[in-house]
Homo-oligomer: A and B are copies of this chain.
């Protein structure tokens, strides 16, 4: 939708219906807009293919609401991460259609849905405790248009649970491995699959797990090439990257 609007502007310039100065004015306004406390980056979608999301950490509910309002006003898709119930209640005031995913701690409002990809993102967790982070990745992928399958609680202490699912793995175009504790699952998956693996360490564990540091180090040292790591508990980042990779394979379909 943003792209279309931009094209409009440029074509009107081309056809002489818009002066360069007027176009400049519209475009200058395009990239981001100043609201108190934030500069909303409306054209991030054009640059990166990912709309600007609102990370609630460190922001007041009022700040979140005001940024969200601005995004919605221009017709953008809204992705809010690390959101609690109170934030949801506040955002529902803006638009009744607001979707809340309490396990994923996300709120979304997709005003301009993307076509669903043919390619499949598979999201795997080592344990039950890793599911919130996996759900954050899943909701993100879905919001961006990627088809997702999940495989939860297949950690390495019972490796047969994973090996039994080799078929699902083989259908994936990208795999996200979400694991806390020692995070060894990413290496196993990286060693048996052809597709890129995005490893997401989680803070699930205790003691020398150091809030996810142990899993992060395990994954970054993975002996299986083709594995890359995002921040601890960063389901949103994993979802974005998975979608970006997944999208690469879609060209095939859209080409005439």
Q: Which of A37-74 contact B (CB under 8 A)?
A: 37-39, 41, 44, 47-50, 52-53, 55, 57-59, 63, 67
B193→A157 contact, CB < 8 A: no
Minimum Cβ distance to chain B for residue A232 (Å): 3
Bitwise, A2-45 to B at CB < 8 A (1) or not (0) is: 00000000000000000000000000100110000111010010
Interface centre among A50, A182, A198, A213 (most CB of B within 10 A): A182
Contacts of A159 in B (CB 8 A): 159, 188, 191-192
Count of interface residues, chain A, beta-carbon cutoff 8 Å:
101
Determine which of B38, B119, B161 lies in contact with A128 in the assembled complex, contact meaning CB atoms within 8 Å: B38
List 24 contacting pairs A-B, 8 Å CB cutoff, sorted by A. A31-B164, A37-B128, A38-B152, A39-B161, A41-B157, A157-B225, A182-B221, A182-B222, A196-B248, A203-B207, A207-B211, A209-B221, A209-B231, A214-B218, A220-B229, A221-B231, A222-B231, A226-B241, A228-B228, A228-B237, A245-B248, A248-B249, A249-B251, A252-B252
A223-B39 contact in complex given A182-B184, A217-B208, A248-B249, C-beta closer than 8 Å:
no
- Further contacts, 8 of them, CB under 8 A, given A49-B226, A182-B218: A50-B226, A58-B128, A173-B248, A196-B245, A196-B248, A208-B232, A214-B218, A248-B249
Minimum Cβ distance to chain B for residue A205 (Å): 6
B181→A222 contact, CB < 8 A: yes
Determine which of B55, B227, B234 lies in contact with A237 in the assembled complex, contact meaning CB atoms within 8 Å: B227
A207→B233 contact, CB < 8 A: yes
Bitwise, A149-174 to B at CB < 8 A (1) or not (0) is: 00011111111110010000000010
With both beta carbons as reference points, the residue of chain B lying nearest to A36 in the complex is identified as: B152
Cα A240 to Cα B52 in complex, Å, equals 30
Interface centre among A58, A157, A214 (most CB of B within 10 A): A157
Total copies of this chain within the assembly: 8
B241→A187 contact, CB < 8 A: no
Decide if A109 is an interface residue (CB 8 Å cutoff): no
Decide if A139 is an interface residue (CB 8 Å cutoff): no
